[in-house]
Structure 1
Amino acid sequence: MLELKTTQEITAMRTTGAFIADLLADLAGMAKPGVNLLDLEHRARHLIEERGAKSCYWDYAPSFGSGPFRNVICLSVNDAVLHGLPFDYVLSDGDLLSMDIAVSIDGWVADSARSIIVGTPRPEDQRLIEATERALEAGIAAARPGNKLGDVSAAIGAVAADYGYLVNTEFGGHGLGRTMHEDPHVPNAGRAGRGLKLRPGLTLALEPWFAQGTDRIVYDPDGWTIRSADGSRTAHSEHTIAVTDGDAQILTLPADR
C-alpha cells in the first residue's frame, strides 16, 4: 500500500537525507589506498551514533540475503555492486568503491548510494560511474505528477542503452518513508506510459546500477554481496526523492544545497 507523505514528513526525510549526504562525503574523503573497509564501517557507525540516528541495515533479514545483516553500510568493490558486506579488505589504488546506506532519524528514513574511484582513476570506470549518475538524473527528471512509474524506469534504461550497458531488473529502486523498503518497486528499465501514476507526496529511492559487461549477477558465499557474473566492474548511484507538484525534490543532498 502506498503512503503519500505530507510536506512536514518530506521535510523530516530531508533532514535524514542531509545527514546521509554528509556521511557519504566523509567516507569518500576517507577512502584512500591503504584504508580497510572495516575502517569505513566503523566510521559510519560512529557518525550514526553521534547523530542519534538508527541504521536501517543492522539486523535486516530480507528473503534475498543471508541475514541478519550485522553492519550499517554496504561497501562493494570493483565487480561487487550491491549489498557488499564490509570485510577485512584493504583498498588499493584504482579500486572502484560503491557505498550504500540507509538510516532513520526521528522515525523517517532516507537512502543513498554513490560510487567513487580510490586513487588513480581508469577512464572506463569514470564512464561507468557517469552513466549511473546520468541515469539517476534522467529518472529524477521523469518523476513528475501525471507521469507513470514506467516513465521513470524507461528514462533510466534509456541512459544505460546510450552508454551501451545492459540492465538487470532483479534489484532496483523502491518506495520508502517510515521504513527502508516500501511499495512500489522501481526497475531500472521499463516501458514508458505503463504502471503506477505518480502523485505528489510519493517518496522513492531511485538507484541505477550497471556492470560494464553483463546484466547477470552472482552471490558471494557471504550470502549478501552481489557481483557481476562476468567479473566486470560495476557502479551504483542512488538518491531519495519526493514527487511534488512540479520537479521532484532530491532529499539526499547536503543541507546547504
Structure 2
Amino acid sequence: MATLPDTVQTAFDRAAAQRALVLPTIPEELRALEADELLDGATEPLEAIDARDLIIADGNFSELEASHARFTNCFLSCCDFSGALFTDTVFEECDFANTYFDSAGFTRCTFKNCKLTGASFMEANLEQVAFTDCTLAYSAQNRCRWWGMEATRCDFSGADMTEMELHYVLLDDDRFIGTSFFRTPLLGIDFTTCQLEGVALSDTMAEIYGTKMNVYQAAALARRLGVIVAE
C-alpha cells in the first residue's frame, strides 16, 4: 500500500492537531430582548439577553455588540450585522438567510439548526465557533478566518470559501457540493466523512496539499488531473 511522504504526513498531523472547543458561557438569568430595542438602535452592548421569536427583515444592526446572549427562533433575514461582535452567544433555530456578517467577530458561539443560506461572512473572524445542522449553502466566506471551528451535518454547497484562513477545523458529515476553495489552504482538514463533489480549486490544486480524503474523493480529483483511475 502506498503511503504519504513523511513530509506530507507530518504537515497534516501538525495542522490537524485539534483544540478543545470552548462553549459559550450563558448566565442562568437573562433579560428578555424586545424587537423595538433592536430597531431603535442599541447604543450600548447587549449583555445577558434572551432574544426569542423576533421577526425583523432588512434591519441595520451594524457594529452591534452582544455577549452572554441567546437568540432562539428568530427571523432576521436580509439584515446587516456588518462589524458586529458576538461573544459567548447561542443561536438556535434562527433564520439569517441573505444576512450580512461582513467583518463581524464571533468568539465562543454556537449555531444550531440555523438557516444561513446566502449569508455573507466576508473578512469575518470566527474563533471557537460550532455549527450544527445548519444550512450555509451559497454563503460568502471570502477571506474569512476560522480558528478552533467545528461543523457537523452542515451544508456548504455552492458556498464561496475563497482565500480563507483555516486553523484547527473539525468537519463531520458536512456537504461541500460545488463549493469554491480557490486559494484556501486546506492543510490538516479531514473530509473523509463529508460529501465532497465538484469543488472549485486553482489549476495547480495546491489547496489540497496535506488534506485527508477517502479513496472516492481522491479518485474524483485525480481524474481532474488527467489520471486514469482503475475501478
- TM-score w.r.t. length of structure 2: 0.27
- Higher RCO (Cα < 8 Å, 6 or more apart): 1
Say which structure is richer in strand: 2
Structure with the greater alpha carbon radius of gyration: 2
